Structure 1
Amino acid sequence: MYNQHPNIILNGNSDTIIWKYLDLSKFLDLLLSQRMFMSRSDKFEDQYEGTFSEPTFEEIKKIATNNPKFLDYYKTHRENVVVSSWHTNEYESFAMWQIFTKNNEGLAIQSTLGRLQEALSAERHFEQFIGEVNYIDYKKEHIPFDDTFFPFLFKRKSFQYEKEIRVLTDVSHKNLTINDGLKIQVDINTLIEKIYIHPKSENWYKKLVIELVHRLGFHFDVEKSDLESDILI
Structure 2
Amino acid sequence: MEQERLDTFDNTLFSPPSDRSVKVWRYMDFTKFVALLNSGSLHLTRCDQFDDQFEGAFPEEDSQGQRDNYKDALINKARLMPDQLAQVLDTVWKKYQRQYMFINCWHMNSHESAALWNVYGATKEAIAIQTTYDRLRSVLPASYQIGAVRYIDHETYLNEEKEGFFSVMFKRKSFEHERELRVCYVDAYEFQQDVRNPAEFFCPTNARLVETVPVDLNTLVESVRIAPQTPDWFVKLVKDAVLRFGYNLPVSQSGRDDYPRL
Please indicate the TM-score interval, normalised by the length of the shorter structure: 0.7 to 0.9
Give the TM-score normalised by structure 1.
Answer: 0.86
Does the Cα contact within 8 Å between 1:145 and 1:151 map onto a contact in 2? no
Give the TM-score normalised by structure 2.
Answer: 0.77
What's 2:10 paired with?
5
Separation in 1, partners of 2:108, 2:128: 12
- 2:24 partner SS: strand
Given candidates 95, 111, 121, the residue that maps to 1:91 is 111
Separation in 1, partners of 2:131, 2:240: 21
Given candidates 54, 79, 99, the residue that maps to 2:99 is 79
Separation in 2, partners of 1:167, 1:30: 16
Separation in 2, partners of 1:34, 1:53: 36
Q: How has the CA–CA distance of structure 1 residues 30 and 63 changed in structure 2, closer, same or farther, with 3 Å as cutoff? A: closer
Separation in 2, partners of 1:90, 1:217: 28
Decide which structure has the larger Cα Rg and report it.
2
Separation in 2, partners of 1:186, 1:60: 34
Q: How has the CA–CA distance of structure 1 residues 118 and 149 changed in structure 2, closer, same or farther, with 3 Å as cutoff? A: same
**TM alignment of 1:1-233, pairs within 5 A:** 5-12=10-17, 13-57=19-63, 68=86, 70-77=89-96, 78-121=98-141, 127-144=143-160, 146-174=162-190, 177-229=206-258, 231=260
Q: Percent identity?
A: 31
Q: How has the CA–CA distance of structure 1 residues 197 and 112 changed in structure 2, closer, same or farther, with 3 Å as cutoff? A: same
Separation in 1, partners of 2:207, 2:10: 23
Counting helix residues as a fraction of each chain, which structure ranks higher? 2
Amino acid at match of 1:89: N
Superposed CA RMSD in Å reads 2.7
Does the Cα contact within 8 Å between 1:194 and 1:220 map onto a contact in 2? yes
Shift of 1:93: 0.3
What's 2:200 paired with?
none
Q: How has the CA–CA distance of structure 1 residues 212 and 6 changed in structure 2, closer, same or farther, with 3 Å as cutoff? A: same
Equivalenced residues, count: 226
Q: Structure 1: 5+ residue runs without aligned partners?
A: none
Amino acid at match of 1:221: P
Does the Cα contact within 8 Å between 1:23 and 1:102 map onto a contact in 2? no
